[in-house]
Amino acid sequence: MRKNVIAGCLGTVWLVAVYGLPTPLLMQAIHATGFQLGLMGAIRQAAMFMQLPSAFFVERLHRRKPFWGSVAATHRALWFVPAFLPLLWPSGEAHWAVVLIIALGLSDCLGNASQAPWLSWMADLLPASRAGRFWGSRQRLLSSVVFLAAFVYGWILDKGEHAEGGLGGFTIVFAIAATFGIGDIVVHSGVAEPAPHRSTPGQSPWKRLLAPLRRRDFRRFTLGMGAWTAALALPGYFYGTPGFFNVVYLHETFDATYSEATWLVLASALGAVIWSHTIGHGIDRFGGRTVAMFLTSVGPLFTLGWFFVSPRHISLPLIGPVPQPVLLMSVASLIIGGFYAGMQLCQYRLAQALTPNTGRTVAMAVHWSIAGTIGSIGALTGGWIKDHMPVAWTTWTVPGGAHFSYFHVLILLQIFLAWCVALPLFASVQEKQHSSEL
């Protein structure tokens, strides 16, 4: 597990570029439309369906690790494409957004093909009684890496803004990210793999797919996580990390610099450092269901901070003027980042608790595929709303003084899905450890 944590630190450097600010800022820099941003987010979610064919294939193997390693390394290597595309094809600027959507969509498909074997592998390796504490402690350390990587990436992007047509910084950032991402796979290959529990021979694929969904608790948990994923995808959150539309809204509306927008990521990472250990212990003590209900109830309250943003700047000692929304939402992100990241810990724990050892790889794939597909609807809806509702489409202003915009619509929809759909589904789940075969 120490090797797992070391590998996770390397992978987090990759993760910050992929799911943090650099990706949406690159898409904005090459003039991607709101639909293209939403499409990229939707593909990221829908690619989770690749876990299903992967799971069926892997359950026929005696070992998961070789398949996982080869697929995951290719997945990470594809992130060299955004690093070098502007350098290798400078005349193809009109097609860059499409090429990136295709290349990174393929990367997402391969990443998800490696996800179910990894989750099954980790569930077999970790004792269920200590899983919450381990994931919480691991996430706290990895969030510290997020903090450092986000700061460095923001600095690089600001320095490279005027190099290579404004894209020089992105070349450096994504080259670093892809290199560290592959390093994660190499180190993690040294983690021990318990012998997998293979499914009963002779069962049809259709029966194996439907078996976990026949369990009421598994089914409701999966639908609840789908609604939660869609809620986060609307404004662009990836668990606790601000994503596509958060960053674009700050940059377009309040002229926040790359480094200033990074403050939200830094605050979210710090929030995860602060809260992960406590949330992990809470999961082991009270159960993933109870903690998920609490986080779903309280976390979205702090996103209402977006209704109190103002177009003014606040002068800070030694720093100078900073957009008020950056400061306000950085403070809110200390809770949002910790609580939303904590939901991922709950998902790990409940997915382990609600699936048996035998057939677990397929059951995990079914859960993440369905949740991701539902989440893709949120991402596409967010992109459509951005394209059809201008930044200041009305004379209304929010209490803070900024114009009511498409982004506030996304926040309201997020809260509705979290409280009116995801929360009731989580409340109906009975958490217990299943040991019978599917």
In tens, the pLDDT along 45-80 reads 778 778 888 888 888 888 889 999 999 999 999 999
Question: Measured between alpha carbons, how far is 345 from 359 in angstroms, rounded to an integer?
Answer: 22
Angle between helix 324-353 and helix 288-298 axes, rounded to 10 deg:
160
Local structure of 409: helix, strand or coil: helix
- Contact between 111 and 51 (Cβ < 8 Å): no
User: What one-character-per-residue DSSP string does 171-197 give?
Assistant: HHHHHHHHHHHHHHHHHHTTS--PPP-
Q: How many residues does the chain have?
A: 438
Mean pLDDT of 180-205: 83
Q: pLDDT per residue over 189-200, tens digit each?
A: 999 988 776 666
Residues ≥6 apart with Cβ < 8 Å to 412: none
**257, exposed or middle or buried, with CB in 10 Å at 0-12, 13-18, 19+?**
middle
Comparison of pLDDT for 158 and 218, the residue scoring more: 218
Please name the helix (run of DSSP H) or strand (run of DSSP E) that holds residue 323, with its range, or none.
strand 320-323
| 320 φ/ψ sector (left φ>0, alpha ψ -120 to 50, else beta) | left
What is the 3 state secondary structure string of 327-369? HHHHHHHHHHHHHHHHHHHHHHHHHHHCCCCCCHHHHHHHHHH
Domains of the chain and any CATH numbers? 2-191+205-427 (1.20.1250.20)
pLDDT level of residue 9 (50, 70, 90 thresholds): very high
pTM of the model: 0.74
Q: Is the pLDDT of residue 434 over 60?
A: no
Question: Measured between alpha carbons, how far is 279 from 221 in angstroms, rounded to an integer?
Answer: 19
- Contact between 251 and 28 (Cβ < 8 Å): yes
pLDDT of amino acid 231 = 93
Question: Measured between alpha carbons, how far is 169 from 39 in angstroms, rounded to an integer?
Answer: 24
pLDDT of amino acid 393 = 58
Mean pLDDT of 291-314: 94
- Contact between 245 and 236 (Cβ < 8 Å): yes
pLDDT of amino acid 391 = 56
pLDDT level of residue 437 (50, 70, 90 thresholds): very low
Tokens coding 157: 């992007």
pLDDT of amino acid 23 = 87
pLDDT of amino acid 294 = 97
pLDDT of amino acid 5 = 94
9-13, 24-28, 119-123, 157-161, range with greatest mean pLDDT: 9-13
Comparison of pLDDT for 132 and 87, the residue scoring more: 87
Give 314's strand partners: 322
Alpha helices, DSSP H, located in 189-323: 205-213, 216-233, 244-254, 258-286, 288-298
pLDDT of amino acid 436 = 37
pLDDT level of residue 279 (50, 70, 90 thresholds): very high
pLDDT of amino acid 1 = 86
Question: Measured between alpha carbons, how far is 220 from 216 in angstroms, rounded to an integer?
Answer: 6
- Contact between 27 and 105 (Cβ < 8 Å): no
pLDDT of amino acid 216 = 92
Q: Is the pLDDT of residue 435 over 50?
A: no
Question: Measured between alpha carbons, how far is 61 from 322 in angstroms, rounded to an integer?
Answer: 55
Residue 14 one-letter amino acid: W
pLDDT of amino acid 380 = 81
**Residue with structure tokens 């019978």?**
436
Please name the helix (run of DSSP H) or strand (run of DSSP E) that holds residue 137, with its range, or none.
helix 131-159
Question: Measured between alpha carbons, how far is 30 from 165 in angstroms, rounded to an integer?
Answer: 10
20 DSSP assignment: S
Least reliable range by pLDDT among 82-96, 341-355, 392-406:
392-406
Question: Measured between alpha carbons, how far is 176 from 79 in angstroms, rounded to an integer?
Answer: 10
- Contact between 359 and 60 (Cβ < 8 Å): no
State what percent of residues in the chain have pLDDT above 90: 39
CA 136, 138, 143, 146 torsion-angle sign: negative
State what percent of residues in the chain have pLDDT above 70: 93
pLDDT of amino acid 256 = 84
pLDDT of amino acid 107 = 95
Least reliable range by pLDDT among 122-126, 162-166, 364-368:
162-166
Which of 273, 241, 90, 271 lies closest to 153 in space, CA to CA? 241
Comparison of pLDDT for 391 and 8, the residue scoring more: 8
Question: Measured between alpha carbons, how far is 288 from 394 in angstroms, rounded to an integer?
Answer: 42
Q: Is the pLDDT of residue 433 over 60?
A: no
Average pLDDT, the chain: 86
Q: Is the pLDDT of residue 29 over 90?
A: no
